[in-house]
Structure 1
Amino acid sequence: MFFKYQTASNWLKKIQLLLLGIGASAIATLPAKAAEKIYFQYGPIVQSLEVSSLETFAETGVVSPDLQFYFKFLKADKEEQQRFQQVLKSSIKVNLVPISQFLYTPLGENFLNQFGSYIRTDPNINGKYALRAAIILAASDPKGLSLLNLFRKYPTDMWIDVRSSLELSKAAGIVVEATKYFTKTITQLSEEEAKKEVATNFSALADLRQLGNLGVQQKRWQLRDEKRNRSFYVDLYQPQRWRSGKAPVIVISHGLGSRPEDLAKRAEFFASHGYVIAVPQHSGSDMIQLQNMHQGLSRNVFFSQDFIDAPLDISYVLDELERRNQSEFSGRLNVQSVGVMGHSFGGYTVLAVAGATIDFAHLQQTCNNNLEYLDFSLFIQCRVLDLPRQPYNLRDPRVKAVYALNPVNYAIFGAKGLSQITIPTMLEAGTHDPATPAVFEQVRSFKMLTTPNKYLALVEGQAHVDFSVLGSGLMQLIESATYLTLPPPALLNSYSNALTLAFFEVSLLDNPTYRPYLQATYTEYLSRDQQFKVFFISAKSDAGLGEASREFRAKL
């Protein structure tokens, strides 16, 4: 098994070095004086570091006595010091307008307020306004956004609350340790399931990673839900040649800041195998809403109401498919037994339409204790608390199977909400996902599902989004800061396509031909020659996963 994480101690040192750099860049208000010192305060003890020492180190590699003190304290070896130097110098080009607009949104302000509690302008003053000013100033510089450039832009000395920063470091360390521990656990459980399964010669069977042979047609509907005063479009994909019997239907839900077009390849894959695919726009959380925020036309990255409206969009699309089934599809569609799948925010959406219910008490408690572990998706999930605290029944009885990729879900639903799902459910997670950490958002949720037909696929190296499309500068910064090597997107897509097709063929159509694919032996076959593996467990591993969870909690 290939797993690129370093030891926990090395990771903690990396995180602490990054905190040192980020802390040094998070300076206060806007007086004329430039930052000269960083003050680290732990109770009554105060230790300072010259900003010029960091600048000299970043530019020349020379370690001044005061910086050497911190390297010794963190036990940073030469390699880690070189990595830190690279992080200080690495820069990315960012668009000033979008980043400044984001920092004035409620989501951006929550982020600033959280990290401003560690990095202050005074021993007792939150540094959120300083963070915002510093980031905007650095982003406007032609040299790009880097930690070193942030130092040069900051106008006054800063104060780092060491006690709070150590709590953050500990929370980050829990993510690393838990990811390593549960990846090993799921690997072992997957192997145990495979040993008990009937051996299958998958090389002699159809390759589910390939496109089907039925062709694809695409069209777009513009829809208007008068009851909700909501307009949106839906992209539809259907086969050029119909499979025998009723055509199965899948609705795919896009993620935050995304759009239906981004899921075209996935939709075409299913359509080529005989499915009719509907991909609705969620107009309060899509790319258009994100662009409106960037252009100053909205103060929100997304609207909290979309936690309710996005699932209702799916139900409205199903209503529309029923209305047009005879006129546009000659009655071929089976709209009474539908599959849904979604990614990230869309993962929440499809779990909600599958029956999961919002547990406001659990959400409030989790949001109040968000430093117990580091889960950045809580910045999004906690926005549900903006909604009226009342029961929301978003389940659609026509939905009979759900596949959620990297879903944000744990804080919103908890065990009480997830237990309401009674249909076949599959979760997909990635070991390198910084946005919805697998151990907190999928592995833990999988254990809470009570439906007997449940599955979990854990993919090594999968990182929530394809970072390669975000630009070489950002990719370089990610690699230098995290030590991560990411797999080719084509490999990850091949894993997902094969598993989703097998899941829906079995769960929606009860197709016996596909049952061998919905096993751990199949994921072993898929990744047998690959550097990055995919592991698969079912409800059969509940007891083993529960025991591992208890053991890990006892170690904390």
Structure 2
Amino acid sequence: MSQNKLHLQLASLGLGAFCAFYSVLPSQAAEKIYFTYGSLLFSLRVSSLKTFATEGKVNQDLKFYLKLVDPKQQSKFQKALTQKADISPILLSRFFNSSVGEKILDRFGRTLQIPGGVNGKYGIRGALVQAALDPQGLTLLNFLQKFPTEIQVDLNRGLAVAKDVEQFVTATESIESEMRKISTQQIATQPVRDFSRYPDLRQMGNMGVVTEKWQLEDTSRNRKFFALVYKPQRWREGKTPVIIFSHGLASKPEDFGQIGEYMASYGYVFVIPQHPGSDYIQIQDMIAGYKRQVFEVQEFIDRPKDISYIIDELTRRNQAEFGGRLKLDSVGVAGHSFGGYTALALGGAKIDWDNLEGECDRYIWRINLSLLLQCQALELPQTNYTFKDPRVGAIFAINPANSAIFGQKGLSQISLPVMLGSGSYDPATPIVYEQSRSFLWLTTPDKYLAILEGQAHVDVSKLDPGIQDIINSVPGLTLADSQLLSEYTNALFLGFFEVYIAKNDNYRPYLESSYAKFISQEPFELLTIDGTSSEQLSDVVKQIED
């Protein structure tokens, strides 16, 4: 959201009254931070951190903690204490009062406690909001100063989190390394091709693009939504292949217009429906206070039904609007994140309630934010939902949230061709816990796994500038250019759907690991493997889980 729009929204919500309310709340700011490690107890005065942050002085109290830290790291720590995060207090308040937000607070509160070992989630929420309201803004130092009680940090849990982060990074590197090794081995067995003489799938096609917006209503569910429809200006010979794309959580159809235009330029009809209840509008309503939740749990059911309704609608319009051209007995379905769940569900994956409960019960600290989404499904009646649509012919799931909710049992029900896309910098649906396991659990013989190095789940260039600044401030983090990632995705989409939806075997070479290598640009390569090397990847995944 732009800063101007955000300021207008805050004004309309009466930010002044909100600030006044918080300013009169009785609070006892934290004076000390206590660190517990087993039976050991250490303390640090918050005022010592303030002196260090503002004056650069290390007093005797702080010297104990910084004596092993070199001057360069001390300088970085000093800067981190006062680095401002430009985040709306309204947004923080609304989000952390949602079910998803409360779960995040609960996880942090197990480490950042109040004295006596009590979960500090309410103190964290209050300190975040009050610091964001303060003229100095939300900084680490201001957060500590606004904490309503003394702070107790459980170092055992903190070290466990640090260890989990380290293991996550190591595991991701292991997966990447093994995929590179497998890809090289597969290339050695594939025909030698001069891809410079092949059509370049990274470029737009030559069939032109027409865009329409349909207003739809599924009266059986009392559900109104719109869909963006991308059509070619010139029709290809024979039947016209159809792809339906499911957007991710807090997203909107327009975010994926580029891939819609690209596929239409090659003769496809590409449809992107809105999913009300888990889209951008839902998030805006939550921020404004009209909705409490980040998304409605019913979306696990409504999203697949939205896609099936689109196929119904295309069938109704096929003769009159498309001259009967559409190929609707084998439709391609793709999706991103929550949309990846949607696509896999339509392909036949079934919710495994036992697996989901097990994953959610043992989840304490794991760098897999998608569990916050997947575990919400436990609020649904645990019946045998069937979303499989027999008209779906192939699935392309990008960064899908899926491993817990489907598990091995649920994913093994898919018999269609599937391609899973993943990003090496994705903390929301990381390849370590999501796509690598899901790829192994798929039993369909036609399966592919792609990893886009430098991809971080979302297109960072489309994020709010404040969020971009926070991401850019992370040391050593360099993300791949969005244009490069789009080129990789375009080539994978067209090659996959030409083979499995348009039934054009001339495009099969584009699914080979050698083509991914051909279009790869260092340092952010595209790696792809097929199902013939599942066992080899399985060995690495098992080592990670052990």
Q: 1:530 to 1:296 in 2, by over 3 A?
A: same
Contact 1:404-1:427 within 8 A present in 2 as well:
yes
Tell me the equivalent position of 1:373.
Answer: 366
> What do the CA deviations read for 1:355-380 (whole angstroms, capped 9, x no partner)?
11100100000001113632111111
CA distance in 2, matches of 1:361, 1:192: 37
Contact 2:210-2:232 within 8 A present in 1 as well:
yes
- The amino acid that maps onto 2:132 is A
CA distance in 1, matches of 2:34, 2:273: 51
SS of equivalent to 1:438: coil
CA distance in 2, matches of 1:504, 1:461: 24
1:109 counterpart (102, 112, 117): 102
Q: 1:518 to 1:134 in 2, by over 3 A?
A: same
SS of equivalent to 1:52: helix
CA distance in 2, matches of 1:477, 1:65: 32
Does 2:40 correspond to 1:38?
no
Contact 2:36-2:42 within 8 A present in 1 as well:
yes
Does 2:304 correspond to 1:316?
no
Pairwise CA distance, 1:147: 1.0
Tell me the equivalent position of 1:178.
Answer: 171
Contact 1:424-1:507 within 8 A present in 2 as well:
yes
- Superposition pairs for residues 133-282 of structure 1, below 5 Å? 133-282=126-275
Q: 1:491 to 1:399 in 2, by over 3 A?
A: same
* RMSD over equivalenced CA pairs, Å: 1.8
Q: 1:278 to 1:460 in 2, by over 3 A?
A: same
> What do the CA deviations read for 1:450-493 (whole angstroms, capped 9, x no partner)?
11100011111100112233344433333433521111110111
Does 2:522 correspond to 1:530?
yes
Tell me the equivalent position of 2:440.
Answer: 447
Contact 1:168-1:371 within 8 A present in 2 as well:
no
> What do the CA deviations read for 1:377-405 (whole angstroms, capped 9, x no partner)?
11111000000011100011111111111
Pairwise CA distance, 1:77: 4.4
SS of equivalent to 1:159: strand
Contact 1:87-1:477 within 8 A present in 2 as well:
no
Higher relative contact order by CA 8 Å / sep ≥ 6: 1 or 2?
Answer: 1
CA distance in 2, matches of 1:354, 1:78: 56
Range moving further from structure 2, 134-143 or 228-237:
134-143
1:541 counterpart (533, 536, 541): 533
Pairwise CA distance, 1:155: 3.5
SS of equivalent to 1:439: coil
- The TM-score with structure 1 as length reference comes to 0.91
- The amino acid that maps onto 1:354 is G
Contact 2:126-2:148 within 8 A present in 1 as well:
no
- The amino acid that maps onto 1:214 is M
Contact 1:375-1:440 within 8 A present in 2 as well:
yes
Q: Percent identity?
A: 48
Pairwise CA distance, 1:79: 4.2
Tell me the equivalent position of 2:50.
Answer: 55
How many residues of Structure 1 are paired with residues of Structure 2 in the alignment?
A: 523
2:65 counterpart (70, 84, 88): 70
CA distance in 2, matches of 1:480, 1:265: 28
- The amino acid that maps onto 2:346 is V
Q: 1:80 to 1:427 in 2, by over 3 A?
A: farther
CA distance in 2, matches of 1:478, 1:487: 13
1:363 counterpart (356, 364, 369): 356
> What do the CA deviations read for 1:334-362 (whole angstroms, capped 9, x no partner)?
11110011111111111111111100100
Pairwise CA distance, 1:169: 2.2
CA distance in 2, matches of 1:447, 1:118: 34
Pairwise CA distance, 1:206: 0.6
Q: 1:101 to 1:332 in 2, by over 3 A?
A: same
Q: 1:396 to 1:81 in 2, by over 3 A?
A: farther
Pairwise CA distance, 1:512: 2.0
- The TM-score with structure 2 as length reference comes to 0.92
Tell me the equivalent position of 1:492.
Answer: 485
Pairwise CA distance, 1:331: 0.3
Q: 1:355 to 1:64 in 2, by over 3 A?
A: farther
Tell me the equivalent position of 2:409.
Answer: 416
Q: 1:425 to 1:83 in 2, by over 3 A?
A: farther
CA distance in 1, matches of 2:515, 2:137: 46
CA distance in 1, matches of 2:350, 2:65: 48
CA distance in 1, matches of 2:470, 2:65: 23
Range moving further from structure 2, 393-402 or 479-488:
479-488
Tell me the equivalent position of 2:331.
Answer: 338
SS of equivalent to 1:333: coil
SS of equivalent to 2:529: strand
Contact 1:30-1:155 within 8 A present in 2 as well:
no
> What do the CA deviations read for 1:172-216 (whole angstroms, capped 9, x no partner)?
222112111111111111111111111111111111011111111
2:322 counterpart (318, 329, 336): 329
Contact 1:341-1:402 within 8 A present in 2 as well:
yes
CA distance in 2, matches of 1:327, 1:408: 37
Contact 1:123-1:161 within 8 A present in 2 as well:
no
CA distance in 2, matches of 1:68, 1:480: 27
SS of equivalent to 2:277: coil
Q: 1:63 to 1:457 in 2, by over 3 A?
A: farther
Range moving further from structure 2, 176-185 or 463-472:
463-472
Contact 1:339-1:508 within 8 A present in 2 as well:
yes
Tell me the equivalent position of 1:404.
Answer: 397
1:456 counterpart (424, 430, 449): 449
SS of equivalent to 1:54: helix
1:513 counterpart (493, 506, 510): 506
SS of equivalent to 1:183: helix
> What do the CA deviations read for 1:390-424 (whole angstroms, capped 9, x no partner)?
11000111111111111111110000011011100
Pairwise CA distance, 1:65: 4.1
CA distance in 2, matches of 1:450, 1:61: 59
What runs of 5+ residues in structure 2 fail to find an aligned partner?
Answer: 1-23
Q: 1:470 to 1:505 in 2, by over 3 A?
A: same
Contact 1:83-1:480 within 8 A present in 2 as well:
no
Tell me the equivalent position of 1:118.
Answer: 111
> What do the CA deviations read for 1:44-68 (whole angstroms, capped 9, x no partner)?
2211112123223333444444444
- The amino acid that maps onto 1:185 is E
